[in-house]
Amino acid sequence: MRVQSNRFLVITFLTACLLIPIAKQNPFAVESDPAVMQVDRAFVQAAAKGDAAAIGKMVDAEFTWTDADGKTLTREEVLRAVPKDALGDESGAEISERTYGQVGAVNVGSGKMHILRMWVQRPGGWKLLVYHEVKQLEQPSTSPGSGIKDCENPCKMVPFKPANEAEQAIIASWQALETGVTAHDADAWAPHIADEFVQISSNSDHVISKAGRIETLNKQKASGVGSAPTPLVSAKMFDFGDAVIMTCLHQPFSGKPIHVSRLWIKRDAKWIMSISYQTTIQAAPVK
């Protein structure tokens, strides 16, 4: 019995030693919440059927639906006439989910079409706050950029008044990362971005990761090509503890405005961005 006990202790010790490096390699792993995936699947099925009654029970009071053309509908508008999910019942699509405390983010992709759904935990259960579609470009963008290199908005000021310390810290983090973008300084940008960061834009043909954005910034720094970030027109923040959803309207220096949904998370006492979905508003006039 003593031999078996010793063997058990050795195996336990070795197993612990093997698991420690794994945890260090991925310290920011976020578990998927089955409850979020369950209600999300129910929502997709209800949307496919146009079941407004079922959808009404699953969406938040401040719910918005932004389609691939950048048109944003309120909760009331959606329930009057349920829009079609750009991917139908989403069979065959790639689906992933990350839960950040009181916010669950579901990412769905198939080809150039992507959908973000951000669920929030309310007293009555998980409710859908943001539905956001993005259709990417078929080919890489050939736009040379605005050519404007001085960043006033959002780097130095924004037309948004933070309601609390968390929102103030998020604005400061955002301004710091956009200042890094303006200077093509990846070292200044990276600390404000989560390792699992994903950016999906209707003005790009590919999904942008943290590593990919750093590579682009380094290339821009070497070539001198680039321009100031798109100015902010308006924004809303929805606070859920250590996760804050930010919905924005941006107006480029030229072209059509852009609707953006972002997710900020508090990690190691710092606010960093983990998700950014960006859709050009096709029906809007060109500046």
3 domain residue, yes or no: no
Q: Which residues make beta-bridge pairs with 72?
A: 66
Residue 152 domain flag: no
One domain for residues 106 and 199 = no
Residue 82's pLDDT is 97
Same domain, 119 and 180: no
- Say yes or no to pLDDT of 24 above 50: no
The single-letter code of the amino acid at 274 is: S
Q: Are residues 273 and 194 in the same domain?
A: yes
pTM of the predicted structure, to 2 decimals: 0.88
Q: Give pLDDT tens digits for 168-211.
A: 999 999 999 999 999 999 999 999 999 999 999 999 999 999 99
Residues 175 and 260 in one domain: yes
**Which two three-digit tokens encode residue 37?**
């995936």
Residue 117 has pLDDT above 60, yes or no: yes
> Which tokens is 203 given?
């003005």
Q: What would the pLDDT profile of 231-270 be if each residue is shown by its tens digit?
A: 999 999 999 999 999 999 999 999 999 999 999 999 999 9
Strands (E) located in the chain: 59-66, 72-74, 94-100, 103-110, 113-122, 125-135, 193-201, 208-209, 232-240, 243-250, 258-267, 270-280
Domain total for the chain? 2
pLDDT tier for residue 120 given thresholds of 50, 70 and 90: very high
Is residue 157 a part of any domain in this protein?
no
Question: Pairing mode, if any, of strands 193-201 and 270-280?
Answer: parallel
pLDDT tens across 55-90, in order? 999 999 999 999 999 999 999 999 999 999 999 999
In this structure, the answer to whether residues 202 and 120 fall within a common structural domain is: no
189 shares a domain with 240: yes
Q: Are residues 107 and 171 in the same domain?
A: no
Residue 25 lies in a domain: no
For the residues 5-16, what does the mean pLDDT come to?
43
Q: Are 165 and 266 in contact (CB under 8 A)?
A: no
Residue 144 pLDDT: 60
Range of the domain at 212: 165-280
Domain identity same for 190 and 270? yes
Residues 174 and 245 in one domain: yes
If asked whether residues 130 and 231 sit together in one domain, one would say no
Are the CB atoms for 259 and 281 separated by under 8 Å? yes
Contact 20, 89 (CB under 8 A): no
Please report, for residues 19, 142, 220, 270, the alpha-carbon distance to residue 185 in angstroms, rounded to integers and kept in the order given.
35, 22, 9, 20
Residue 270, domain CATH:
3.10.450.50
Whether 196 is in a domain gets the answer yes
Shared domain check, 118 and 173: no
Question: Do 41 and 97 share a domain, yes or no?
Answer: yes
Q: What is the mean pLDDT of residues 2-11?
A: 45
